[in-house]
Amino acid sequence: MANGLSKYIRNIVDTATTVFEGMAVTCSHFVRRPTTVQYPDRTPMRVQDTLPFRYRGILEVDMEICTGCLACERACPIDCIVIDVSKDKQTRAMVMTRFDIDIAKCMYCGLCSEPCPTGAIHHTPEFEGADFSLESMVRRFVKDPVVCYKPKKTGEDDPEILPLLDRGMRYVDEFASPDGTKPAAEEGDAETDA
Amino acid sequence: MSLAGFEVEVEQVNGAGLNTEEMTLNMGPQHPSTHGVLRFVVKADGEVMREAIPDVGYLHRSIEKISEKVGYHGFMPYTDRVDYVAAMFCNQGWGMVCEKLAGIEVPKRGEYCRTIAAELNRISSHLLSVGTMVLDIGAITPFFHAMREREKINDLLEEICGARLTYNYMRIGGVAWDLPPGFAEKTLAFIDRFEPVLEEYHDLVSVNAIYLGRCGNVATISAAEAINYNIVGPNLRASGVRYDVRRDEPYSVYPELEFDVPVGTGRAGAVGDSFDRYEVRLREMKESCKILRQCFRQIPEGPVIAKVPRKFKPPAGDAYIRVESARGDMGWYAVSDGTEFPYRCKVRTGSFAAMSIIDKVSRGLMLADLVTVIASLDIVAPEVDR
Amino acid sequence: MQDLLDRLMQQGHFAGVPVHVVYLIGIVVVGAVVLFGFVLNVAGGTTFIERRVWARIQSRVGPNRVGPQGILQWLADGLKLLMKEDTIPEAADPRLFRLAPYVVVIGFVAAFVCIPFSGDLIAADLNIGILYITTVTSLVVVGILMAGWASNNKWSLIGGIRAAAQIISYEIPAALSIFPIVMLTGTLSLQGIIRAQGWAPWDWFVFANPFTFFAFFILYTSLLAEGNRTPFDLPEAESELVAGFVTEYSGVRYLFFFLVEWGNLYVISAIMVSLFLGGWQIPPVTDSPILRNLLQFVTFFVKSYFWVLVAMWIRATLPRIRVDQLMTTCWKYLVPLGFVNLFGTALWMVIWPNGNRVVEALMTLLGFGLIGYFFSRVWFHLRRSRYTRAEILLSPFS
């Protein structure tokens, strides 16, 4: 009987003290600053600018430095990249007539940007891709046929292409490689290591 | 029958009992508290359940079949979707099974990177599990605190691999990116601010009398039952079985790390009740913090990925490996026929087994307890259905 | 209010108008003012304040876009609900389904007849005041049961039945905790009870003797249970029953149920403050009746709203208890304790018919000591979380 009574009182006291303690914890939270980021209009700066360099947002291709090696098309598991490359009869150069990425199919895995020799295809910090039409989900990067880029052995000297190449190589160099270096950009290299 | 001091008696009128019927309720695929699309057909006698039959398959996406089309390398992002709450473990599992098939060894630093990412993901997965469990039981605040901490982990993992949920961080042979500069400081700073949050959780939730009453002695799974039903992970450890793949079949760098394996203590009633499953997860988060600190102290320099050909063609054969995922022992089985596409890939997940025990354990429980059971077993629908 | 009208008629304001018409006009005017001026605004505003309070406790911001700081959010929500399609499930009982929200609202609004706003402002100071309030708020049970049954939805039915069992059970400890106060004052009228207290904390009934102190907590718990608030919100347990007995309701009918839930918070708090915390009593600082009534109104409102905030705070903190534990708590814990309080107060009145000033002072000290201890625990939790100065935000605006 006494055991039952003490257990009874114990129950009441436990309930009261734990509720009291719990309310103290929530009260301590009440005076703290909320951690909400009031996106999109009340952020201190654009969210896209706060994202890390490796962020895998919507894909973008710098056609000026694309070598047409098709490594990204082969690597994509979903087949959302479609590239048409052909040899132009007159100029004997490789020309790209189509480079479409369907960003609705894309799962932002990054497998395409990894084997790119120049970093032409890379992820951007952009993530706001919502739109009203399905057609706008296919990003067409080639309007007029583009000559495939041929990386110069002595390094790039064109002032317009150099920043793009630098940025692209910086993106690609983030990826780890077994010996710490990235292999030189070669066209059509199917058997290169990761 | 007697439930917690509330006697239920059927009145005898003219020698005949009151005519009562069982209700068949559908806790359907759309429900605020089944974790994902799960369906239960519940036969209830008033508030007391007689049967709770699970109906799975609403989230089946044929991921295992897809592996046969995309190849070994291309399958890595799909493994994220097998359990998107604890995706690093799935990545690690697939990486390990391919490495076993082809006999590739991952460099030391790569293993450490994998472990760091995995343990961070373990913490975030447990936060989600614990947070949603408390939310289902009725307390709305601890869920948001858990999500707040999880956001910080998401930010850390975003720095390391560029994505917040479907990481695709690991590759066959190692990891895709090395740790960025300053990562160790940021993570250690996070852990320093995180451990007091666990204490706060303890004070707000674990000692709360109402919470103990809701979870204590509810759906007790004994050790023998747990083993027979294939329960793994924190659920198994809560039932008293000290089995952890990291300790008993160690892989990666776990032999070099010191950590405890928390086991259920039965503080709220019985060993293996819902409260134990919750508490084991809280303690595992603490252990993961310990592991992370050690990793950052011990991580060597070097490459993070081994040489793996772009057209990965492992020799014909099969391999099975185990990873200790946040939800338990996750088994990956791959059969190779010598080409660059696997012949068959199979995942064995902890949540699928946990679904099987729900019917047995919920007989005689009340409707409100079914929610507690599902939440405490930490069942995520993508793991169940793949 | 009747006194007020009588005085005005004596002063010759309503010459030529029959008495009953004056009373009728008074009722309509007062009813309209109370209902539209006070009840709806407080109930609606409470929904907004609750969301902001919860958000701060949960490290979030809460609604802050609609109107400055979001104060028009509740109007926007109400308008949205008004404009929603009125759906009635095909197999639902048409008359009961439609009638249920109105029954619930009647039960709730009728309680405001007896809630005092200040010394002279009360719709009707019935001499059975508190009994009337507890009776009329029980009408809500009928409405909830109707809603649960008529929805033709097993989950709603379970919710309705749980609610009925809960509300009916918790009437008992509530009544048992009200009796000590009634015994102390000898009247059921709310204004009488308030007038028997003083403005100072040691004159309040909560500190009169240890038994009324515990009766205070038992009453608050029981009234929260009656109002379907966490930790007793099983009837509308979101995570189990989708929305419990209101699952099938949409639009205005849903609005009614939720109006009642949040407005009921104010009724609960008003009862607590009237019975235990001195009501609208203020120190005698002014003679002007208008100023005095204004100060009393503000005091009463602030005190009541504090307990509304505490109810919101409790809901943010605690999980919900299961139905059998609910019953156990009521019948095995609160009812016996209620009886202990009842007999204890009776014994106290026999031994000290005029109260015991020493004990009152000690109890007041104990009360404030508890509050002080509470803030020391808050400080402990803040320190343990290793907060930085930038992480503290005391202002409610963000």
A23-41 pLDDT tens trace? 999 999 988 888 888 888 8
| Residue A82, pLDDT score | 93
C124-179 pLDDT tens trace: 888 898 999 999 988 888 998 888 888 887 777 877 888 888 899 999 999 999 99
Measured in angstroms, the CA of A188 and the nearest CA of chain B are apart by 13
Which residue blocks in chain A are alpha helix, DSSP H? Answer: 2-30, 47-50, 71-75, 161-173
Chain A residues with CB under 8 Å of C309 CB are none
Long-range contacts of B187-194 (CB under 8 A, 24+ apart): B187/B116, B187/B120, B187/B156, B187/B292, B187/B296, B188/B292, B188/B293, B188/B296, B190/B152, B190/B153, B190/B156, B191/B289, B191/B292, B191/B293, B192/C386, B193/C385, B193/C386, B194/B123, B194/B149, B194/B152, B194/B289
Are B199 and C384 an interchain contact pair (Cβ–Cβ within 8 Å)? yes
Which residue has tokens 């201890």? Answer: C373
CB spacing of C59 vs A23 below 8 angstroms? no
Helix, coil or strand: residue C48? helix
Considering only CB atoms, which chain B residues are within 8 Å of C386? 192-193, 196
The residue type of B276 is: D
Which residues does B193 contact at the CB level (< 8 Å), separation at least 6?
C385, C386
Q: State the pLDDT confidence band at B2, using cuts at 50, 70 and 90.
A: very low
With CB atoms and an 8 Å threshold, state whether A34 touches C61.
yes
Looking at beta carbons, which residues of chain A come within 8 Å of B63?
none
A51-173: which CATH topology? Alpha-Beta Plaits (3.30.70)
Beta carbons of C56 and A38 less than 8 Å apart: no
The per-residue pLDDT for A187 is 34
* Cα end-to-end span (Å), chain B: 40
- Which is nearest to C219 in space by CA: C279, C269, C185? C269
Residue from the list C59, C379, C394 with its beta carbon closest to the beta carbon of A29: C59
- Of A26, A114, A176, nearest to B141 by CB-CB distance is A26
Interface check B204 vs A, CB under 8 A: yes
Which of left, alpha, beta for C208 (phi over 0: left; psi -120 to 50: alpha)? alpha
Which residue reads 């047995």 in tokens?
B360
The single residue listed with the structure tokens 């996406």 is B61
* Neighbour subunits, A (≥3 Cβ pairs < 8 A): B, C
Bridge partners (DSSP) of residue B49 are B44
Q: Is C60 on the interface with A (CB under 8 A)?
A: yes
Q: How far is A14 from chain C (nearest CA, A)?
A: 13
Main-chain phi, psi angles of C24, to 5 degrees = -60, -45
The verdict on A21 touching C (C-beta cutoff 8 Å) is: yes
> Measured between CB atoms, does A11 come within 8 Å of chain C?
yes
CB C216, CB B343: distance < 8 Å:
no
Q: What is the pLDDT of residue C286?
A: 82
Domain annotation for chain B: domains and CATH numbers: 2-55 (no CATH), 63-385 (1.10.645.10)
pLDDT at A181 over 70: no
The token duo for A116 is 């790119």
Q: What is the pLDDT of residue B1?
A: 34
pLDDT of residue B7: 43
Q: How many CB pairs under 8 A join B and C?
A: 100
**At CB < 8 Å, which residues of chain A contact B?**
11, 14-15, 18-19, 21-22, 25-26, 29, 35, 51-52, 54-56, 75-77, 107-111, 114-115, 123, 174-180, 190-194
Q: Do A36 and C57 touch (CB under 8 A)?
A: no
What is the spatial distance between Cα C51 and Cα C59, in angstroms, rounded to a whole number? 12
Q: Is any Cβ of chain B less than 8 angstroms from the Cβ of C236?
A: no
Ranges of each domain in chain C? 1-80, 84-355
Query: Which residue of A54, A70, A78 to mutate against B (max B Cβ within 10 Å)?
Result: A54
**What is the three-class DSSP state of B335?**
strand
The pair of structure tokens assigned to C291 is 């100023």
Higher pLDDT, C290 or B226: B226
Q: What mean pLDDT comes out for the span B11-29?
A: 65
Of all residues in chain B, the percent with pLDDT exceeding 90 is 61
Query: Strands B12-13 and B16-17, how do they pair?
Result: antiparallel
A194/B76 touch (CB, cutoff 8 Å), yes or no: no
Could you give the residue ranges of the DSSP H alpha helices within chain B? 63-74, 76-80, 87-102, 108-137, 141-161, 183-201, 209-215, 223-228, 234-238, 245-248, 274-298, 350-361, 367-376, 381-385
Q: Which residues of A touch C61 (CB under 8 A)?
A: 34, 36, 38
CB atoms within 10 A of CB A188: 11
CA dihedral angle for residue B23, residue B28, residue B30, residue B35, rounded to 10 degrees: 110
**B214–C322: do the CB atoms touch at under 8 Å?**
yes
Contacts of A22 in chain C (CB under 8 A): 317-318
Which chain A residue is nearest to residue B75, measuring alpha carbons?
A77
Residue of B nearest to C387 (CA): B193
pLDDT at B8 over 50: no
C-beta atoms of A26 and C313 within 8 A:
yes
Shortest distance between the Cα of C156 and any Cα of chain B, in A, equals 11
Inform me whether the C-beta atom of residue C282 falls under 8 Å from chain A C-beta atoms: no
Give me the amino acid identity at C258.
F
Give yes or no for a cis peptide into A40 (omega within 30° of 0).
yes
pLDDT of res. C398:
67
With beta carbons less than 8 A apart as the criterion, state whether C255 and C78 touch: yes
Nearest to C235 by CA among C140, C137, C174, C158: C158
pLDDT at B239: 93
Say whether B139 and C317 touch across the interface (CB within 8 A): yes
Query: In this complex, do C57 and A38 lie within 8 Å of one another by their Cβ atoms?
Result: no
Q: Is the pLDDT of residue B13 over 70?
A: no
User: In a structure prediction context, what are the per-residue pLDDT tens digits for chain C, which is 398 residues long?
Assistant: 777 778 777 877 777 778 888 888 888 888 888 777 888 899 889 999 999 999 999 989 989 888 888 899 999 999 999 999 888 888 888 888 889 999 999 989 889 888 888 887 888 888 898 999 999 988 888 998 888 888 887 777 877 888 888 899 999 999 999 999 999 998 999 999 999 998 888 889 999 889 999 999 999 999 999 888 868 777 766 545 566 777 788 888 888 888 888 888 899 999 999 999 988 988 888 888 888 889 999 999 999 999 999 999 998 899 888 888 889 989 999 999 999 999 999 999 999 888 788 989 999 999 999 999 999 999 999 888 888 777 788 887 76
Taking an 8 Å cut-off on Cβ atoms, the answer to whether A12 and C314 are in contact is no
Tens of pLDDT along A59-90? 999 998 899 889 999 999 999 999 999 988 88
What amino acid is encoded at C394 in this protein? L
Q: pLDDT tens for residues B246-285?
A: 999 999 899 999 999 999 988 888 898 999 999 999 999 9
Task: State the distance between the two ends of chain A, measured CA to CA, in whole angstroms.
Answer: 75
Residue in chain A lying closest to B213 (CA): A15
Q: Considering only A184-193, B161-170, B254-263, B282-291, which range has the smallest mean pLDDT? A: A184-193
Task: Let me know: does B168 contact B76? Beta carbons within 8 Å.
Answer: yes
* ipTM for the predicted complex: 0.87
The answer to whether residues C54 and B144 touch, using CB atoms and an 8 Å cutoff, is no
Collect all residues of chain A within an 8 Å Cβ-Cβ radius of residue C316: 26
Across the interface, do B136 and C239 touch by the CB < 8 Å criterion?
yes
Contact at CB, C322 and B369, closer than 8 angstroms: yes
Chain B residue numbers with beta carbons less than 8 Å from the beta carbon of A178 are 107, 173-174, 303, 305-307
The shortest C-alpha distance from C310 to chain B (Å) reads 15
Q: Does C391 touch chain A (CB under 8 A)?
A: yes
**C340 min Cα distance to partner chain A (Å):** 14
